[in-house]
Structure formats: structure tokens, C-alpha cells
Structure 1
Amino acid sequence: MSTYKILFTGPVGAGKTTAITSISDIEPFQTEESATDDVSKMKDNTTVAMDYGLIKLEDGERIHLYGTPGQERFDFMWEILSDGAIGLIILMNNLEPDPLQTLEKYLDAFSGHIDASGIALGVTRMETGEGPSIDDYHAVLSGRQITAPVMEVDPRVSNDVIRLTESLLYSLDPGL
């Protein structure tokens, strides 16, 4: 039986915890605590260490899902959690003040991991029509010579998250 690891990352409020919860075959493990800083203006709780979920495939293989905390003060967990991951899913909140600049920060922070594996980019909160377009996100990746799937995702909708996860897996192994 093979096991794989996929890492979900992105800023606070992008939907990492929700995405993992929506596709996990087990009750996810979450390390959420009450938000006490500026994050409390956005939401009541925030991830402080990690989220964990699991996908059980029909052939017995398993995909472990890890989510990073979004706050940069917990960025020491990013490297710890990325160890051994076959791929990275970056979720971006399109309603952030400057989501493209935030994406650049995550691409910098995970550059070594991106070079060694693959990524997929999911953009959340696009329903208002405000913020950058999918093409704008593609342009940021293209400017760094990164080829990756980019799509609009609602992390509450399991089919959206499954489609994003499958796009990552297909980009890693087109023969799947």
C-alpha cells in the first residue's frame, strides 16, 4: 500500500481547513484556537499548527492531507509540514487587499518545494467579481516559469477541492 502527502497552504481565510474537511475520508484533525490578533477581525478561530485529513483510494493507497497555518508567525511549520509532500496546493483568497503580492510571498516561501514537486493554485472568493482574474494568477506563475493548474475553487464544495487535487496529481503524473 502506497501513501502520499499533499500540502495545502495559503493565507488566513483562504479556506485550507475547509478544503481538507470537505474531502477527507476521516474526521479531520485540526489545531484551531481563538484568534486574538488582527485575524480576529476576519474569523473567530485560526489554525496554529496544522490540519490533517486523509483520502482513502479504492486500491488501498492513501493520500495524507496537511494544511499549514496561514499566519506568517507560524511559518516555521511550513517547512516541517512540506517535508515529504509530493505536491503543494496553494489557496488564495481573491478578496485580500493584494492577493497577487501574497501569492508571490508563498511562491518565495515554498520555492524549493515547488522546484522539487508540483503545485496547483486554487482561488477562493471569486464569486463577487472583485479582485484579480484567473489570467492574472496565471501571469504571476508564468513570470516565474511555473506551469501549474489554476482554478476557481469553493473550499466548501468537495467536487471543487477534488478537481483541484486531481489537477495537481495529473500534473505530477499525466498517466494517471
Structure 2
Amino acid sequence: MQTVKIVVTGPFNAGKTEFIRSVSEIDVVSTERKISAEAEKVKSTTTVAMDFGRITVDDDLVLYLFGTPGQKRFDFMWEILSEGMLGFVVLVDSSRPETFREARSILETFRAYAPTPYVVAANKQDMDEAWDLDDMRVALRLDSKVRFLPVIATDKEKVKKVLLELLYSILAEMEAGGS
């Protein structure tokens, strides 16, 4: 049985915990804590260490999903969680352009930790205020070669599609490296 470690990262409230919850076949191990009244306008809890979920792709392959904390004060966990990852997903809230610069910074940070394949996923594409993918690609300064996918973190099928795209990238890199 092959296991693949994938990290799901992105800014605060991008939907990382929901992304993992929607596909995990186990109860997600989550380190959420109540947060300050100021941040509560957005949501009432935040991940402080990590979220952990698992999905069996087939008889030979299991994905371990590690969600990072989104708040900057917990970014010391990012490097720890990136160890041994074979790829990562950067989740961006399509409806909150004020988080795009931070998402770009997180992407660059994780690329510096490990030169592994990654995909960027535009979450909350079902919301009226969600940005168009082409406009987001420009705002995030993503090269045209970067896989950039729409997603709704609570939609299991859409989340699976993002994970499969990442898996294809990981497999392509493994095959290229092995030849």
C-alpha cells in the first residue's frame, strides 16, 4: 500500500478544514480553538496546529491530508507539516480578494520548503461575489502552466477533482524522475 502525504494550505478562512472534511473517510482530527470576537465576524474557530484526514483512492493508494493553520501566528507549523509531503494544494477564497496577496506568499513559502507539485484551488466559486478564475490567475500572478481549479470545499466531487489533478502531477513528476 502506497501512502501519499498532501498538505492543504491557504489563508485564514479559505476553507481548508471543510475541504478535508468533505472527502475524509475518517473523522477529521482537528485542532480548532475558539477565536477572538474580532475574527468571530468571519467564523468562531480556527485551526491552531493542523487538520488530518484520510482518503483511500484504490487498493494500492491512500492519501493523508494535512491542513495547515491559516493564521500567521501559527505559521511555525507550516514547515513541520510540509516535511515529507509529495504535493500541496493552496486554497484561496474567491470571494475575498484582500487575501490574494497572502495566498501568493503562502504559495511561495511552501515552494521554498519543498519543490513538489502543487495546484491552486479557487474556493467558494458558488458565491455571487466570487472572482472569475482568469481574473484571479492574474491577481495571484500564477503562470499559465500552474493548475488552477475551481472548487467548493463542501462539495466532495469537486474536492476529489482537485486532489486527482494534484495526484496526476505527482505521478507525472515521479515518472519523469524515474526515467
Q: Give TM-score scaled by structure 1 length.
A: 0.88
- With over 3 angstroms needed to count, the CA separation of the structure-2 counterparts of 1:150 and 1:166, relative to structure 1, is same
* Superposed CA offset, 1:86-114 (max 9, x none): 00101001222423312221123213146
Partners of 1:3 and 1:63 within 8 A in 2: yes
1:149 aligns with 2:147: yes
* Superposed CA offset, 1:48-80 (max 9, x none): 110000112322422110000010100000110
Partners of 1:4 and 1:64 within 8 A in 2: yes
In 2, distance between residues paired with 1:113 and 1:154?
27
Displacement, 1:150? 0.9
Aligned length: 171
Over the aligned positions, Cα root-mean-square deviation in angstroms equals 1.9
One-letter code of the match for 1:55? I
Displacement, 1:156? 0.4
In 1, distance between residues paired with 2:109 and 2:125?
24
Displacement, 1:131? 5.0
> Aligned to 1:95, what secondary structure does the other structure show?
coil
Identify unmatched segments of 5+ residues in structure 1: none
> Aligned to 1:110, what secondary structure does the other structure show?
helix
- With over 3 angstroms needed to count, the CA separation of the structure-2 counterparts of 1:128 and 1:60, relative to structure 1, is closer
In 2, distance between residues paired with 1:60 and 1:92?
31
1:52 aligns with 2:84: no
Of residues 153, 168, 171, the one that matches 1:170 is 168
Identify unmatched segments of 5+ residues in structure 2: none
Partners of 2:5 and 2:84 within 8 A in 1: yes
- With over 3 angstroms needed to count, the CA separation of the structure-2 counterparts of 1:120 and 1:49, relative to structure 1, is same
> Aligned to 2:58, what secondary structure does the other structure show?
coil
**1:19-34, aligned counterparts within 5 Å?**
19-34=19-34
One-letter code of the match for 2:142? L
In 2, distance between residues paired with 1:36 and 1:147?
39
Correspondence for 1:72: 72
Identity across matched positions, percent: 35
Correspondence for 1:127: 126
> Aligned to 2:14, what secondary structure does the other structure show?
coil
Q: Give TM-score scaled by structure 2 length.
A: 0.87
Partners of 1:12 and 1:39 within 8 A in 2: no
One-letter code of the match for 2:132? S
Partners of 2:30 and 2:50 within 8 A in 1: yes
One-letter code of the match for 2:41? K
One-letter code of the match for 1:152? P
